[in-house]
Copies of this chain bind each other. A is one copy, B any other.
Amino acid sequence: MPQESRLALYRSMLKIRRVEERIQALYPEGDMRCPTHFSIGQEAVAAGVCKNLRLEDHVISAHRSHAHYIGKGGNLRAMFAELYGKVDGCASGKGGSMHLIDLSVNFLGCVPIVGSTIPIGVGAAFGAMLQDHAAITVIFFGDAATETGVFHESVNFAAVHRLPVLFVCENNLYSVNTPLDVRQPGNRTIAELARGHGIETSQHDGQLVETVDAAVVDALAHIRNEGGPALLEFITYRWLEHCGPLGDLHLGYRTQAEFDSWATRCPLRLYRKVLEDNRLIDDAAHAAMDAKVAEEIDDAVAFARASPFPERSELSRHMFA
Chain A contact residues, CB within 8 Å of chain B: 147-153, 156, 159-160, 181-185, 187-188, 192-199
Contacts and interface: CB of A to CB of B under 8 A. Distances in A.
B147 A156 contact: yes
Interface centre among A151, A156, A187, A192 (most CB of B within 10 A): A156
A219 B285 CA distance: 63
Nearest to A195: B196
16 contacts: A149-B150, A149-B151, A149-B152, A149-B153, A151-B152, A152-B152, A156-B185, A159-B184, A160-B181, A160-B183, A160-B184, A185-B197, A185-B198, A193-B196, A194-B196, A196-B196
Given A147-B153, A148-B149, A156-B184, 14 more contacts: A147-B156, A148-B153, A149-B149, A149-B151, A152-B152, A156-B185, A160-B184, A160-B185, A185-B198, A188-B197, A193-B197, A193-B198, A196-B196, A196-B197
Closest 6 CB pairs of A and B: A149-B149, A196-B196, A188-B198, A152-B152, A159-B185, A187-B198
A208 B18 CA distance: 65
A141 to B, nearest CB: 14
A159 B181 CA distance: 11
A192 B194 CA distance: 11
A197 to B, nearest CB: 6
Interface centre among A147, A151, A182, A198 (most CB of B within 10 A): A198
Contacts of A188: 196-198
A199 B187 CA distance: 9
Contacts of A183: 160
A114 to B, nearest CB: 12
A153 B151 CA distance: 10
Given A149-B153, A152-B149, A160 B182 contact: yes
Contacts of A147: 153, 156
A199 B151 CA distance: 19
A60 to B, nearest CB: 18
Interface centre among A182, A185, A187 (most CB of B within 10 A): A185
